[in-house]
Amino acid sequence: MKDVFSEQSGDYAKFRPHYPDELFDFLLSIAPGKECAWDCGTGNGQVAEKLAGYFREVEATDISQPQLDQARLQPNIRYSLQPAEKTVFADRSFDLITVAQAIHWFDFEAFYREVNRTLRPGGILAVIGYGLLHITPELDTVIRKLYVDILGEYWDRERKYIDENYLTIPFPYPPFPTPYFAHSVTWSWGHLTGYLSTWSAVQHYMKAHQHDPIAIIADELMAAWGEPAEREIHFPVLLRIGKI
């Protein structure tokens, strides 16, 4: 598992979007129980905190201690520094395993062995993510210029799995029908630029050039943003379900 988010863990916690309630309602409707869930690659615990409202116990793991230091604490969440591919959890521990915006960094084969070992019969693996944001056609054009033209070579190769909607990840489970989910948030200009700064490719670009790539498109982006203090931002939600 690759760690590319420790350095901006504070910004990640502040600016990254959440997931819609409807997604969690769906996961709860297909999980065999509500005893114990594992949020793998938890980051700052966004998903773990949500699961804690439904499950008696939640295990939340990551390989980044700075990310875990930003985590949302709840009495029934236990955070631990562990890789996705090899944990200390007992066999058949979990009704639900979630991986949010992280599976593309994993060693797939080793992780699926761990999933198969730790899920209970009938248990659910939910691979979650979100694709490139949409705002308005004008803003989308400028953001895509940043995403493709400026940062293209600075994205880790694993990013392609998100661009392909997680449809091309190795996935050793039978097809499972899922609804389509999207998530909308209302952000200020500062929140949008803060979010863009958390992109791993932005960090790679800055290390290579000692220059913020967002500054290259800042004027163009601001012109496309226009007068509103806030705008509605839309994220398509990615979802693959595996059932044991």
Q: Which two tokens stand for residue 109?
A: 């084969």
What pLDDT does residue 13 have? 65
Q: Length of the chain, please?
A: 244
Comparing CA positions, the residue from 106, 101, 116, 58 lying closest to residue 85 is 106
Query: Which residues of the chain have a pLDDT value below 70?
Result: 1-13
- Residue 106 domain-assigned (yes or no): yes
- Residue 102 domain-assigned (yes or no): yes
Q: Which two tokens stand for residue 225?
A: 């943003």
Indicate the pTM of the whole model: 0.91
- Residue 71 domain-assigned (yes or no): yes
- Residue 64 domain-assigned (yes or no): yes
Question: pLDDT averaged over the chain?
Answer: 94
Domain interval for residue 238:
9-133+158-186+234-243
- Residue 204 domain-assigned (yes or no): no
- Residue 227 domain-assigned (yes or no): no
Q: Give the integer Cα–Cα distance in Å for 140 and 131.
A: 13
Which residues on neighbouring strands pair with residue 243, listed in sequence order?
124
What pLDDT does residue 9 have? 43
What pLDDT does residue 6 have? 46
What CATH number has the domain bearing residue 172? 3.40.50.150
Instruction: Please say whether the beta carbons of 154 and 208 come within 8 A.
Output: yes
Q: Give the integer Cα–Cα distance in Å for 10 and 198.
A: 10
Overall domain count for the chain: 1
- Residue 201 domain-assigned (yes or no): no
- Residue 68 domain-assigned (yes or no): yes
| Helix/strand/coil percent split, the chain, to 5 | 40, 25, 35
Instruction: Please say whether the beta carbons of 48 and 16 come within 8 A.
Output: no
What pLDDT does residue 90 have? 98
Q: Give the integer Cα–Cα distance in Å for 105 and 82.
A: 14
Question: With b meaning 16 or more CB within 10 Å and e meaning fewer, what string describes 103-131?
Answer: bbbbebeebbebbeebbbeebbbbbbbbb
